[in-house]
Amino acid sequence: MRVLLTGGAGFIGRAVRRRLTAGGAEIRVYDSALDPADDVLDLDRLRRASQGCAVTIHLAAKVGLGVGVSDIDDYARQNSLGTAVVLRAAAEAAVRRIVYASSMVIYGEGGYRCPTHGRVRPGPRREADLLAGRFEPPCPRCGSFLTPVLVDEDAVPDPRNAYAATKLHGEHLGATWCRETGGRLAALRFHNVYGPGLPRDTPYAGVAALFVAQAAAGRSPEVFEDGQQRRDFVHVDDVAAAVVAATGANLPDGMTALNVGSGTITTVGEMASTIAGALSAPAPVVTGRYRLGDVRHITADSARARALLGWQPEHTLADGVRDLVAESSVGSR
C-alpha cells in the first residue's frame, strides 16, 4: 500500500511512520520540516505527491490553543486552507480514503450531568469566576454543581479557540469531500497525546511536555487552576496504531468521527505528580493560574474506535511516563 503522510516528521507522524514501515507500506512523507518546498498550500506539489497513493494521512497542522487573535489568520491558513488543499489534491489524484488528525478540542467543555436537569452543556467559563478560584462550571439552568461524564462522538461540537475551530472546519470540509468524491474519511479526534519525542521547547507544547521539562530541570511542575482538571492522556504509539488501523478498516461511507483516547481518566495534578516522582523532582506546585481558552474537563468515550478499527490502547500511564523519563535521562547526559 502506498500512503501519503503529511506531517510525517512531527511527533505523531514519526510514530505513524514507524508503524506503517513495520507493516510494509510504501510511504511518501510530505513535511516542510524535511523539505521547505513541501507546503500544504501548494496544490500542484501535493497533487503530484498524491498520485498512485491509496490513502492520504493528513497530520500536518499548526497546533496549540490559539487563545488570541494575533495568529488566528495563520491557524485558518495552515489548518483550514491547508486541509482544503490536501483534500482537493487527493480528489484530483483519485485517492479515495483519508485519515484526518482531528482533536478532542472541538468539543469545548466535556460532558456534564446536573442532578436536576440531566445532561447539560455549560457555557464558557467567566473570568471573574476563574479569578476567584471557582473553576468548576455550574449548571447553566440552575447553577448547581455538575458531575463530569465521558464525551462520545455524537456530542455537539463547541470549539472555543482558533485551533479547535480549524480542526472542526477540517471535519466539515472532509464531509464535503466525501459527498463529492464518494470517498471515505476517518476523522480521528485525538485526546491528550504524549510519549517519546513529545515536543517541549515550544509555546505550543502540551501540559505533559511542560511538566517533563520543568521536572527534568529539577523544578516543581507548575499546575494551573487546582489541578483537578480531568483529561485522557493517550500514548503516541496507541494513537499511531489507531491511525494505521483507519487506513484499512471497513468504515461506513462518508466521514466517520472517532475518539482516540486511553479510556483512563487522569487529572492534570496526577500527571504532574507522576512525572515529578519519576524524575525525582520537587512536588508540583498548584498555582491557581489559568488560561481563559482552557476547558475544565474533557475525557473520551472511545468505544466506537475500538469497534470499527479493531483497535485497543495498550499503554498505561505508567508506561508512558516511564518512556518520557528514559528519554529525559538520555537527553540530560
Residue with cell 513495520: 22
Give the Cα separation of 94 and 2 in Å (integer): 13
Give the Cα separation of 304 and 3 in Å (integer): 24
Determine how many CB atoms are found less than 10 A away from the CB of residue 144. Answer: 13
Q: Position 114: which residue type?
A: C
The three cell numbers of residue 39 are: 507546503
Give the Cα separation of 59 and 239 in Å (integer): 12
What pLDDT sits at residue 202? 58
Active-site option among 163, 194, 204, 290: 163
Give the Cα separation of 236 and 77 in Å (integer): 26
Give the Cα separation of 136 and 143 in Å (integer): 11
Residue 271's nearest CA partner among 237, 223, 331 is 223
User: Is 187 strand, coil or helix?
Assistant: strand
DSSP 106: G
- pLDDT averaged over 10-residue windows placed end to end, the chain, 333 residues: 97 97 97 96 98 98 76 94 98 98 95 96 90 95 95 93 94 98 98 86 71 92 96 96 98 97 95 94 96 88 97 92 74 43
What pLDDT sits at residue 205? 58
Determine how many CB atoms are found less than 10 A away from the CB of residue 24. Answer: 7
Please state the φ and ψ torsions of residue 307, each to the nearest 5 degrees. Answer: -75, -45
User: Is 256 strand, coil or helix?
Assistant: strand
Torsion of CA 163, 120, 272, 217, to 10 degrees: 20
Contacts of 4 (CB under 8 A, 6+ apart): 28, 30, 49, 50, 53, 55, 56, 57, 90, 95
Distances (CA, A) of 60 to 83, 140, 275, 288, 327: 9, 37, 28, 33, 24
Known catalytic residue at 163:
yes
DSSP 107: G
149-186: per-residue pLDDT in tens?
Answer: 999 999 999 998 899 999 999 999 999 999 999 999 99
Give the Cα separation of 99 and 249 in Å (integer): 11
Nearest-Å Rg of the Cα atoms of the chain is 20
What pLDDT sits at residue 292? 80
CA 187 to chain centre: 11
The three cell numbers of residue 123 are: 457555557
